């Protein structure tokens, strides 16, 4: 009853969460970049979550030798699975929950509930969105003859603006909202972003593929036309047998056979 009484008299409600220094946040952020360092088939990202949270958990009463710290580290290093970039949302929220003294069973339920949404949103937004989009834009740059260093910089700048931005946003929103962070996943960028990126990527793919092939093939227009037509035919075949044949393995076999003939004849 203390807090409402204080609020009635106009005094600010005390925040039970300890302050976390900027240096601690830098340390947590750098560790999130290595969150998959011990990825395995049993605890998946679990140890990485404990590793990333560890600098923040040192703020718990008693420090690294205290029971609160040990209990929190044990809890946070258990099984966890999500997209590695969006795990920063969980890291921020879990740091707030642990430092605010939220009951352990509530934290464990929250951890379990976050896995699915953070995995599916991240997969669609990053692996099936930002990554192919950045690759294809860089391939357009390659196709129109941009210098090698600039091609690499375009790719890395485009991709990592999204990548690092997402990680920083995740930590901030997680820390700010704590256990109520699920609402942040309804952010329009996360909800509608994948569809917009998919359309943009489709358009960019249409431009990038012929331009890339043209630059690789060189000046022969006839060979370029043949390469594009044969490529289109094989692509249709690959789409039709979707899931049964992996494209890169098919290319490996085709190119190996071509090399064999070239060497043997």
Count CB atoms within 10 A of the CB of residue 168: 15
| Complex with other proteins: residue 44 or 189, whichever CB lies closer | 44
Is the Cβ of residue 185 or residue 200 nearer to other proteins in the bound state? 200
Of the two residues 177 and 227, which places its CB atom closer to other proteins in the complex?
A: 227
- CB atoms under 10 Å from CB of 139, counted, come to 22
Q: Among 100, 107, 116, which Cα is nearest to 77's?
A: 107
Calculate ∠ Cα 163-182-59, nearest 5°: 75
Q: Residue 179 CB, nearest distance to other proteins (Å)?
A: 22
CB distance 175 to 105 below 8 Å: no
Return the number of the residue (90 or 201) whose C-beta is nearest other proteins: 201
The per-residue b/e assignment along 78-110, b for 16 or more CB within 10 angstroms, e otherwise, is eebbbbbbbbbbbbbbbbbbbbeebeeeebeeb
Give 15 or 42: the residue with its C-beta nearer to other proteins.
42
Q: How far is the CB of 53 from other proteins (least distance, A)?
A: 9
Tokens of residue 264, six digits: 């043997």
CB of residue 195 vs other proteins: minimum separation in angstroms? 5
Closest distance to other proteins from the beta carbon of 180 (Å) = 26
| Total residue count of the chain as it appears in this document | 265
Smallest distance from the beta carbon of 15 to other proteins, in angstroms?
26
């Amino acid at each position: 009853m203390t807090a409402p009484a204080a609020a009635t008299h106009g005094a600010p409600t005390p925040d039970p969460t300890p302050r976390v220094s900027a240096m601690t946040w830098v340390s947590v952020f750098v560790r999130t970049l290595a969150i998959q360092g011990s990825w395995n088939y049993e605890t998946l990202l679990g140890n990485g979550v404990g590793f990333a949270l560890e600098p923040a958990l040192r703020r718990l009463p008693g420090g690294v030798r205290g029971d609160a710290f040990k209990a929190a580290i044990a809890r946070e290093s258990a099984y966890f699975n999500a997209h590695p970039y969006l795990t920063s949302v969980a890291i921020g929220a879990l740091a707030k929950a642990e430092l605010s003294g939220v009951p352990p069973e509530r934290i464990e339920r929250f951890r379990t509930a976050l896995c699915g949404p953070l995995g599916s949103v991240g997969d669609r937004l990053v692996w099936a969105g930002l990554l192919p989009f950045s690759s294809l834009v860089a391939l357009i740059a390659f196709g129109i003859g941009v210098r090698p260093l600039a091609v690499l910089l375009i790719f890395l700048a485009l991709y990592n603006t999204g990548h690092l931005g997402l990680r920083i946003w995740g930590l901030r929103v997680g820390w700010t909202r704590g256990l109520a962070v699920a609402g942040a996943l309804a952010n329009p960028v996360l909800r509608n972003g994948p569809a917009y990126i998919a359309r943009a990527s489709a358009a960019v793919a249409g431009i990038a593929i012929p331009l890339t092939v043209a630059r690789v093939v060189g000046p022969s227009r006839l060979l370029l036309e043949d390469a594009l037509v044969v490529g289109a035919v094989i692509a249709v075949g690959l789409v039709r047998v979707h899931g049964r044949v992996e494209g890169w393995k098919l290319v490996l076999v085709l190119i190996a056979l071509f090399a064999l003939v070239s060497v043997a004849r």
